[in-house]
Amino acid sequence: MAELTNLLDLDPAQLVAYCGELGEKPFRAKQLQRWIHQFGASDFDSMTDLAKSLREKLKTRAFIAAPKVLSDHTSLDGTRKWLVDVGNGNAVETVFIPEENRGTLCISTQAGCAVNCRFCSTGKQGFNRNLSVSEIIGQLWMAEFALRETAGVIPGPKGERQITNVVMMGMGEPLLNYEPTVTALKLMLDDNAYGLSRRRVTLSTSGVVPMIDKLGQDCPVALAVSLHASNDALRDGLVPLNKKYPLADLMAACQRYLEFAPRDFVTFEYCMLDGVNDTDAHARELIALVKNPRLTVPCKFNLIPFNPFPESGLLRSKNERIKAFAQILLDAGIVTTVRKTRGDDIDAACGQLAGEVQDRTRVQERMQKMSAYQEKFGKNFGVLVEVTS
């Protein structure tokens, strides 16, 4: 018996091709797509404007299923977090952040993350595998219709959309799972699916330079870059990917991307770490980095108060220090915001997304070895220091 196709895995063009294989005209794909992504339908019998013969074909060849929800928690501030099962002992987290004039969904793209940024508790769980298209877009599909049900909003295009913005900032590095991520993006943007504006879909990357260029050609959306350091020596220790794609290459890629991007700036995410990257000198270095006369990158900075966890050995910058740091950037004419911490009581804040990962990269084992070395050679063994001449 032929394997069934999960229709959540197909972008608009792929769904047209799939219907063609069934002997159906392209308009049937649009109808089918609307039933799936605008009405949240998973039962072919409910798709009443499809010919009965097509519905019968689909029942024997296809299905519609998002990852199963393992838990669903709502924070005191309204932030809602789902833990979803992606099989073989792995689970990822999806977070909805309601605000007065928008609702933002934070989506995961991998089970775990291989980038292992030092300040990110998500990365300390290691990496298992890339998520499929249905596992990525399935988070949006699941969340939109769960939120509608809670709010008493009818499914379909006439019902008020609950999710107005999507950020690919959950577990994983989206650009290291490129094809499924882009397929999911195309569904988010399609008018017969979610109809989101490119300006309202943001992909966050730690700086995979060749894939930033490819994204600019294939599906440019708003871009956020996890910067977190003002020079290569510091960033090498905080974001290991920097050793492969240093700051000069990353800034050049950002500038190239802006030719195609829906926004005329890049957002730089900057996690504020006490005594590590938060001095006035670091702020001035950032200004020089993005306002380099040879390579200026129009940007805004989003300063993120660090969410401490024991394995990092790092502390959150004091509020006064964050304000002073932000003021230096503002005085240089750079739009700067400080991210509000949301969902702390359900561990839904930035860098806290945990899930469950069957690690193939042995991160925990390596961290235990580091603890043993520090016990033997002193607590400063392996600690990040910035060397200044």
Pairing of strands 127-130, 110-112: antiparallel
State whether residue 303 is helix, strand or coil: strand
Active site residue 106: no
> Can you tell me the distance from the alpha carbon of 135 to that of 171, in angstroms, rounded to the nearest whole number?
12
The answer to whether 368 touches 95, Cβ cutoff 8 Å, is no
Owner of token pair 């490819």? 214
- b/e map of 91-111 (b: 16 or more CB within 10 Å)? bbbbbbbbeeeebbbbbbbbb
Active site residue 120: no
- Among the listed residues 24, 93, 135, 269, the single catalytic one is 93
Pairing of strands 62-63, 5-6: parallel
Name the packing angle between helices 178-189 and 209-218 (round to 10°): 30
35: exposed, middle or buried (C-beta count within 10 Å: 0-12, 13-18, 19+)? Answer: buried
> Can you tell me the distance from the alpha carbon of 99 to that of 79, in angstroms, rounded to the nearest whole number?
9
Helix spans in the chain (H): 12-21, 26-37, 52-61, 133-151, 178-189, 209-218, 232-238, 247-257, 280-290, 319-331, 363-377
Pairing of strands 80-87, 5-6: unpaired
The answer to whether 93 touches 70, Cβ cutoff 8 Å, is no
List active site positions.
93, 350
